Amino acid sequence: MQEAGVNLVSVGIFSWSRLEPSEGNFEFGWLDRVLDLLHDGGVQANLATATASPPPWLAHRHPEMLPVLADGVKLWHGARQHYCPSSPVYRDAAKRLVTAMAERYGKHPALAMWHVGNEYGCHVPACWCDVSAAAFRAWLRERYGSLDELNAGWGTDFWSQRYSSWEEIIPPRRTPTWPNPSQQLDFMRFSSDALLECYEIEHEVLKRATPEVPVTTNFMSFFKPLDYWKWAEREDVVSNDSYPDPSDARSGMRAAMAGDLMRSLGRGRPWILMEQTTNRVNWREINVAKAPGQMRLWSFQAVARGADGVMFFQWRQSRAGAEKHHSAMVPHGPVESSTTWRDVVRLGSELGRLDAVRGAQSRAMVAMLFDWESWWALELPSKPSTRLRQLDQVEAYYQPLFEANQLIDFARPGDDLSSYRLVLAPNLYLVSDEAAASLEAYVEGGGTAVMSFFSGIVDPAEHIRLGGYPQPFRKMLGLDVIDFLPLPADHEVALRFGDGALGRGTIWSEDIVLAGAESLATFSDLPLGGRPAITSHRFGEGTAFYLGTQPDPKTMARLLELACSSAGVEPTAEAPAGVEAVRRWARGKSFLFLLNHRDLWVDVPIARAGTNLVDGSEVHAGLVRLGPRDVAVIGEGW
């Protein structure tokens, strides 16, 4: 570990059955030894609470703690994460273990951070068992207060679903056709909250025992089942696990996007890349290895996007068990001949030179609204088109801005947006009155917004907002949408811009009537030939752009460039295609990260001289050369 520059290790994540081999009998000797060894070697511990995989004895004694799927199938022990999130048996046992851990190790000098559970919801994000049903009812009573309110909120007169007692209410189990959408949406909210309660139980024990020790749990990038806005509020440090597919050309962009999300979830605080693989994973159909330099590149990318720590799953590749073919820092074979080990050692020493970057902040001028509830609601079945997927839409905005080196923060609808010059709202299908009003006020006060079709359609109950689509944004956008005309799967519509430029739209079209907005582009094919497709509207002091279709990538890039220039948003740097440029600031200093995603040499123009912290070399204003997948972190003006 010392050779690799390791200074923080996650310990004990899946060791409940070792720590408590039978009910109430704890065996800590082995962990004492591990923590002492780490401490003696100058390595700190991110100590896990070990509750992500209950021991077999717990499931054997209390099978009612096992999770059940929507169609009644029970998930048994023998893998991991086999617990019903609402199970009092599981919760009590977890609390007992965490209490014992906190007592034993709260004062251990190696303890730097607590790691609660692991990847909550990764395999079992929700449970439909009877225990969960009772907990769901309790959650609903809290939310609605009365059955009448619940019946109104769920629109239960439709299809004769009116409930006459709380006991009749169940989670949305397998039904003949779609279960009630408002019920499904509430069940998603409940399921995220149920797991958050598990986290909270442990968090409370740890905070009481060791108030000064930071607590985290590892996120999984854009993980649909958990509303990470709510979760991140309960963490001292946001941490993330990132496993981009090396065989997918969009992976670099996606990893950047996940990094931006983590920074935003922590409201700008530095985060930790908790897990990544050194090389291959074991869970794709084909586990393509990272290309030479890719692990280093993606590690530096995380730091560029706000991480102050880079870690791996896993230290030593195991001999047995389900993950023995997953790469590790220490491979099965001899380290001397391992390129992975060589790369790990190099990364460790290079990261060791970035101390000055710690705590540095980013300054994004662009925010993208992102909301888990809207994502859940948008992708519930029975919509105009199932081809409309939240993350595809987010990426359609993110990709061209990533390529143009525009830094993006993610924002929760309703957040104060006043520090941003440009706000993007890809398909904000569900929106609360307050969030809609906050976006409207932002534009009215001088902000620029870009919004896509099928936004502002429902309220938080998933009821249509009546009064014409998109009801809460009609004034801001200066238009009315008369109806939606989703496009068949292989269908495109032609777009014509005022300046004669042509483009194409996919997924969606709609019948727009202007009410103050101007048309930037029209549909040129029937049935909407000549009608507005893309519009802009001066509203108060600001401008709102609207996209009534999904423009092709080039057109999207052009539109976003227009929005950026009209909002006065500048890119971080002008860099050649494939070079990512991101800046962080700390204590009056700035750090320019240059990341070459291509496997070619590139020359990057540099405005300010400085020092490349990665190798200590001096950088002169002019051109900096980067090799294939090479990186530079330039302390500007040093």
* Nearest in space to 114 (alpha carbons), one of 49, 198, 50: 49
- Contact between 481 and 508 under an 8 Å Cβ cutoff? The reply is no
Which residue among 130, 200, 245, 323 contacts ligand GAL (CB under 6 A)?
A: 323
The reply on whether position 275 binds ligand GAL by CB under 6 A is yes
**Distance (Å, whole) CA 401 – CA 395:** 10
489-528 residues near ligand GAL, rule: CB under 6 A: none
Beta strands (DSSP E) in 143-247 are: 215-216, 218-219, 239-241
Query: Partners of 583 in the beta sheet?
Result: 592
* Nearest in space to 46 (alpha carbons), one of 222, 206, 201, 193: 206
Q: Which stretch binds ligand GAL (CB under 6 A): 114-122, 167-175, 303-311, 460-468?
A: 114-122
**Distance (Å, whole) CA 489 – CA 524:** 19
Q: Which is nearer to ligand GAL, 113 or 634 (CB)?
A: 113
Which residue among 48, 81, 82, 119 contacts ligand GAL (CB under 6 A)?
A: 119
Q: Which is nearer to ligand GAL, 220 or 368 (CB)?
A: 220
**What amino acid is encoded at 302 in this protein?**
A
Q: Which is nearer to ligand GAL, 53 or 427 (CB)?
A: 53
* Nearest in space to 127 (alpha carbons), one of 183, 190, 185: 190
Q: Which is nearer to ligand GAL, 125 or 153 (CB)?
A: 125
Q: Which stretch binds ligand GAL (CB under 6 A): 117-125, 166-174, 209-217, 569-577?
A: 117-125
Q: Is 275 a catalytic residue?
A: yes
Residue where the block lists tokens 């001088």: 446
Closest separation in Å from C-beta 283 to ligand GAL: 6
Dihedral angle over CA of 194, 200, 205, 208, nearest 10: -160
Q: Which stretch binds ligand GAL (CB under 6 A): 118-126, 246-254, 448-456, 526-534?
A: 118-126
Q: Which is nearer to ligand GAL, 241 or 580 (CB)?
A: 241
The reply on whether position 118 binds ligand GAL by CB under 6 A is yes
The reply on whether position 329 binds ligand GAL by CB under 6 A is no
- Contact between 480 and 486 under an 8 Å Cβ cutoff? The reply is no
Q: Which is nearer to ligand GAL, 115 or 629 (CB)?
A: 115
The reply on whether position 235 binds ligand GAL by CB under 6 A is no
The reply on whether position 219 binds ligand GAL by CB under 6 A is no
DSSP labels, 5-28:
T--EEEE-TT-HHHH-SBTTB---
Closest separation in Å from C-beta 142 to ligand GAL: 31
Distance of CA 241 to the CA centre of its chain: 10
The reply on whether position 255 binds ligand GAL by CB under 6 A is no
* Nearest in space to 214 (alpha carbons), one of 171, 255, 264, 271: 271
Q: Which stretch binds ligand GAL (CB under 6 A): 29-37, 274-282, 410-418, 630-638?
A: 274-282
List the catalytic residue out of 119, 235, 350, 395.
119
List the catalytic residue out of 202, 235, 275, 350.
275
Q: Which stretch binds ligand GAL (CB under 6 A): 273-281, 467-475, 581-589, 609-617?
A: 273-281
Q: Which is nearer to ligand GAL, 188 or 328 (CB)?
A: 328
The reply on whether position 227 binds ligand GAL by CB under 6 A is no
Stretch 357-396: interaction string toward ligand GAL, x if CB under 6 A: ----------------------------------------
Closest separation in Å from C-beta 230 to ligand GAL: 21
The reply on whether position 313 binds ligand GAL by CB under 6 A is yes
- Contact between 31 and 15 under an 8 Å Cβ cutoff? The reply is yes
Token reading at 310:
């880079």
Q: Which stretch binds ligand GAL (CB under 6 A): 115-123, 124-132, 223-231, 296-304?
A: 115-123
Q: Is 119 a catalytic residue?
A: yes
Cis peptide, bond prior to residue 553, ω within 30 of zero: no
Closest separation in Å from C-beta 52 to ligand GAL: 8
* Nearest in space to 318 (alpha carbons), one of 306, 329, 305: 329
Which residue among 326, 421, 474, 531 contacts ligand GAL (CB under 6 A)?
A: 326
The reply on whether position 241 binds ligand GAL by CB under 6 A is yes
**Distance (Å, whole) CA 631 – CA 624:** 11
DSSP labels, 108-167:
-TTEEEEE-SSSTTSS-S---SHHHHHHHHHHHHHHHSSHHHHHHHHTTTGGG---SSGG
Q: Which stretch binds ligand GAL (CB under 6 A): 166-174, 275-283, 418-426, 548-556?
A: 275-283
The reply on whether position 281 binds ligand GAL by CB under 6 A is yes
The reply on whether position 202 binds ligand GAL by CB under 6 A is no
Which residues are CB-contacts of 142 (< 8 A; sequence separation ≥ 6)?
Answer: none
- Contact between 540 and 446 under an 8 Å Cβ cutoff? The reply is yes
**Distance (Å, whole) CA 377 – CA 383:** 10
Closest separation in Å from C-beta 278 to ligand GAL: 11
Beta strands (DSSP E) in 12-94 are: 44-48
The set of catalytic residues is 119, 275
Binding footprint of ligand GAL on the chain (CB under 6 A): 118-119, 122, 241, 243, 275, 277, 281, 313, 323, 326
